[in-house]
Structure 1
């Protein structure tokens, strides 16, 4: 059973120039492969090493076909081919995960033998980084993303922006150049000795330059009385009130005495008038008696 119809047939050997058809062997291809032992062209296939799903599968001498299919990670009629093209598992139907450098995974288990690409974990590298981590082996921690949002599991980028006081794609850089707040868009106030303020709140941690007040040192002293000025103003107001009380008291006493004196004078005049009238009447009575 020579391979090909154009094979010559030497009279001395009968050699098949193109080899034997599957299931046959020998120089002249007249010997069948041994059943359930070997198969294929030249009987080079070994039935015992096939990756058949069922151990009891027959082994046809021409193809070595596995009747029940292949074990996970293998394919082909005789189940002798490993899964290819980044596939693995039963019927090579599963796709490899995110193996580092796009390496193929193990054809049976899907394990990435050299590890995972940044942002992925597990044996098959099909699980994203969790718990606000990212990068190689998920060993990096997300920055200060706004509202404590998780960052991108591969790059660490904060997709919705940074919390106040932080900048850069990963929100891991404090505001610089005397800036603070959301997107570092606010400028520090008049901190003492031109010190930088707190990158989140804008607070001047060492106090304000002369003439400035408030925690951020952005309010002029003339706009808000300092504790010392408050004491002075309070003292002045108290003094004015005290003087006013004294003046009112003196005035009340004066008016009271004046009124009392006026009443006494009127009383004395009344008595005098009564005495005069009495005397006048007595004199008149005496003149009548003399007459």
Structure 2
């Protein structure tokens, strides 16, 4: 015996003292029951409110049932239906009122409310799954882009090499470097190549390189110092020779020959010539012939 039948039996027993010999209740039924003997239940009525005699629901049916007594189940695709059994609201996964016999696309993302698509048009209420776009998420994005807009299919990320356009379906010119071009207009892009740096040396190599560099720098500095010293010595030597040269008198050879007959040395300093011959030159016995005096050259 079912639970419902046992409840009815207890209910009948409670009212037996208030009913006729054939079981007809004198004062009607309690709320939620109906019939002459109050054995019928109003479980599918809203609030379990129904007429005591016929069991007609006074406030309508709960979801999933229809008829005046709400004792008929709606079609499986309906969430709610009218008195004639036609759907007034589809299940969350179906659309196509009033029949609700069309399933929403499997590529629609379920919304927080649990509803997948519009119950009339089938348009996805949320986003499409990755790689799909369109009103009902039934069109595949271009294979040339990783992700695309779920509305119009435009690529959200950069196209793969060799492609451009909103949906990355146009080809870059073959004359472009590496077949890469501007993602919007398809103009060839200038590729900038940066030099590849050598791998970093190990710690031991760094120490060896540092020691060698120090030795090289020290040797270079020492060599530069030696060159500077030699150069300075040469400059000093040349300056001394120039100073000595200024204190000497150089006489042409033809005059030296004539002077040699008159007692002069081949080359005398200006100081010696002045000290030795400054008083004797006016001697009348010693005269220079012609323009001999003009032939002396002082430096």
Pair member with larger Rg: 2
Per the normalisation by structure 2, the TM-score is 0.39
Per the normalisation by structure 1, the TM-score is 0.40
